Amino acid sequence: MSLLEVKNLYKSFGGLQAVCDVSFNVQDGMIKALIGPNGAGKTTLFNLISGVLKPDRGEIFFNGLPIHSIPQYKIASYGIARTFQHIRLFPKMTSLENIMIGRHTHTKAGFISCMLSLPFTWKEEKLVREKSMELMKFLGVSELASIDALSLSYGQQRIVELARALACEPKLLLLDEPAAGLNMRETREMGEFISKIREMGITVLLVEHDMSLVMKISDEVLVLSYGQKIAEDNPLSIQKNKEVIRVYLGE
Amino acid sequence: MNTKKKYIQLSLFLSIIIFIQLLTYFTGCEYHLTQLTMSAYYCLLIIGLCLLMGYAGQISIGHAGFFAIGGYISAFLTTYDLSQYKDKTILILFSKIGAALFRQDLYGGKVLNFHPWAAALIAIILTIIIAILIGSPVLKLKGHYLAMATLGFGIIVYRIVLGTEKFGAADGISDIPPFPLLFGIEVNGKPVMRVWNYYISWSIVFITMTFLINLINSRVGRALYAIHGAEDASRAMGVDTREYKLKTFVLSAVLASVGGIFLTHYNGGIGPSEASVIKSVKYVAIVAIGGMANLWGSLVMGLILNFLSLRGYFGTYDDAVFGAILIIIMLFAPEGLLKVKLFDFIKYVSFRSKKSV
Ligand SMILES: Nc1ncnc2c1ncn2[C@@H]1O[C@H](COP(=O)(O)OP(=O)(O)O)[C@@H](O)[C@H]1O
Ligand SMILES: [Mg+2]
């Protein structure tokens, strides 16, 4: 069964059709890449899947459950986490605290128990901290734990944002241009991390402009142009697809 | 935060409370305790507002409204004579459980009023309901729009208490009975109870402070700070931002209301000025100068500025002083005064002076 099923999705902004009749599946355990020129509707599609936007028409199923009409905050507890094209870390919080927020759906302490500082909240807090440190270690950024997240370099911020999404323990990870703004070494490392994440059993759907990265790590590629799906295939066939070449190289 | 730091801060706070009382005792200015007690009840509102503004990032320029709602409802229920309804089943029931009782009024007549505890409970419940009704739609707004909407709420409360005959219109409500606690100790303004009342008020602040410090260093506090910083991203992490903002709003409204209830019993009266917009602005100014996301800073500033203001140090310029504070803070230290790094400032000044030599 597919982990994610997108069926005939439509979204327009005013007169602009940003996503038009897009359907595709993401199989459990794969890395699927979403490519297309700027303004093709890739981020909009991510926003639809992650509940930021509601589709005008169409359906999205995750693990067989409809998710196209539930509130955005519930998406994380279904097992979908994301990063943002324009990094959205929490300011005035350390990297560790940023990542700890990712554990929100896996913890319970509410207003009253936190105010009373009930013992179970300490235990939760300790586990949250340990798990978050573990992730920082996994991504090789333990030494950044107590540094204000927004004072980190761009590449480090992308890693912290990735760690924050991983802290949600998602089944599906949506990465919107994870290598944008990274230098060559950082891009290579990011590719390695994404492959490792897949090995952990997490399915990945990513938007990326770096074609060599996309071709290297992904199992399937979906091409979007002007809101429409124009191709969906394995990386090798996509590279040979005439329509795709036309879209990328211009008429 | 480590628990050790928390206990050090809290015990320091406790020592300061005791130190101030001893200071007034040994310097013979125990009459200052009156204003210090009143400041405590305003501080209750201020630390709640600090949580809302500094941590959750939601401004309210209407919190004096909640303070007045608490004060006025408990004042009204504990003074309004219900004798004419004394045969109604509901009142008989209230009398049976002690929620309503007869007492002597100022002129020796017998009046039937709500017991202060019952009145306080009703006031708090109504505060919660009003806060939910106002907060649910209004907290969808951001920035200036939220400021305007809460300001509107404050104005409405002010006009209602000012225009309602039963609330004493411009005179407010007076002759409010004391609020009985345990063992004959009560919240009242009698000079013999001055020291008691000082400790009662600051104990309430102390307990509230402990709860709020716990809160901001927990899962919930972290989520609130995340909402403040990037609301969409926090929602993507599974934070129910609507619920968290509303709960914080209600919590801060309840703290304001409790402050209003106790201050009203302490003063034995309440007037419409408690609901005025200028008061709300004053509270915002105090939170701002305290450092926004800084509970201790807001508390210290709440104590100092309220005390000075109540003692009349700012004279007729009182409101102007708080206006000026807001302007200066917004211009030079939007992060709050206590966040300005003193060390950097000294370095800056000495560097400048060296250069000019
Ligand atoms: N919130 C929005 N309001 C109006 N137009 C939008 C909005 N978000 C995206 N768009 C438009 O939709 C189109 C697709 O944008 P986007 O999904 O960001 O493209 P991509 O991520 O593929 O570069 C663009 O023309 C963009 O200007
Ligand atoms: Mg995009």
Q: What is the mean pLDDT of residues B284-311?
A: 90
Asked whether the beta carbons of residue A168 and residue B237 sit closer than 8 angstroms, the reply is yes
Q: Over the stretch B202-235, which tens digit does the pLDDT of each residue have?
A: 999 999 999 999 999 999 999 999 999 999 999 9
Q: How confident is the model at residue B264 (pLDDT cuts 50, 70, 90)?
A: very high
CA distance A21 to A16: 14
Closest ligand relative to A20 C-alpha? 1
Alpha helices, DSSP H only, in chain A? 42-49, 72-78, 95-101, 111-115, 119-138, 154-167, 184-199, 211-217, 235-240, 242-249
Q: What average pLDDT does chain B have?
A: 88
Asked whether the beta carbons of residue A164 and residue B237 sit closer than 8 angstroms, the reply is yes
Atom of ligand 1 nearest to the CA of A207: 21
DSSP-assigned letters across all residues of A45-79: HHHHHTTSS--SEEEEEETTEE-TTS-HHHHHHHT
Q: What is the nearest CA distance from B302 to chain A, expressed in angstroms? A: 22
Q: From the CA of A44, how far away is ligand 1's center (Å)? A: 6
The neighbour count for residue B339, using CB atoms within 10 Å, is: 14
Q: Identify the domain containing residue A239 by its residue range.
A: 2-249
Q: Over the stretch B141-200, which tens digit does the pLDDT of each residue have?
A: 988 899 999 999 999 999 999 998 888 888 889 889 989 888 878 888 888 888 999 999
Cα dist from B298 to B17, B105, B290, whole Å: 16, 39, 4
Asked whether the beta carbons of residue B214 and residue A92 sit closer than 8 angstroms, the reply is no
Main-chain phi, psi angles of A233, to 5 degrees? -165, -175
Residues making up chain B, counted from first to last: 357
Q: Does B235 touch chain A (CB under 8 A)?
A: yes
pLDDT of residue B347: 52
ipTM for the assembly: 0.93
pLDDT of residue B290: 85
Q: Does B350 touch chain A (CB under 8 A)?
A: no
Contacts of A157 (CB under 8 A, 6+ apart): A87, A89, A149, A150
Q: Which residue in the set A76, A88, A114 is minimally distant from B220, CB to CB?
A: A114
Q: Which residues of chain A have pLDDT under 70?
A: 249-251
Would the pLDDT of B334 be above 70? no
Contact present, A149 and A160 (Cβ < 8 Å): yes
Q: How confident is the model at residue B340 (pLDDT cuts 50, 70, 90)?
A: very low
Would the pLDDT of B38 be above 70? yes
pLDDT of residue B31: 87
Alpha carbon of residue B287 to chain centroid: 11
Q: Does A169 touch chain B (CB under 8 A)?
A: no
pLDDT of residue B88: 77
pLDDT of residue B331: 80
Closest ligand relative to A222 C-alpha? 1
Beta bridge partners of B174: B269
Q: What is the nearest CA distance from B334 to chain A, expressed in angstroms? A: 14
- Closest Cα to atom 12 of ligand 1: A18
Q: How confident is the model at residue B87 (pLDDT cuts 50, 70, 90)?
A: confident
Q: What is the CATH number of the domain that holds A164?
A: 3.40.50.300
Asked whether the beta carbons of residue B233 and residue A84 sit closer than 8 angstroms, the reply is yes
- Domain residue extents for chain B: 3-325
Contact present, B303 and B84 (Cβ < 8 Å): no
How many contacts does A have with B, using Cβ atoms within 8 A? 92
pLDDT of residue B357: 42
CA distance A177 to A207: 5
Q: From the CA of A51, how far away is ligand 2's center (Å)? A: 16
pLDDT of residue B336: 53
Number of domains in chain A: 1
Asked whether the beta carbons of residue A116 and residue B214 sit closer than 8 angstroms, the reply is yes
Q: Over the stretch A107-156, which tens digit does the pLDDT of each residue have?
A: 999 999 999 999 999 999 999 999 999 999 999 999 999 999 999 999 99
Contacts of B7 (CB under 8 A, 6+ apart): none
Query: Under DSSP, is residue A174 helix (H, G, I), strand (E, B) or coil?
Result: strand
pLDDT of residue B348: 56
CA distance A62 to B16: 57
Torsion of CA A201, A207, A209, A211, to 10 degrees: 40
pLDDT of residue B69: 97
Would the pLDDT of B344 be above 60? no
Site residues for ligand 1, CB cut-off 6 Å = A 13, 16, 18, 36, 38-44
pLDDT of residue B352: 55
Beta bridge partners of A206: A33, A175
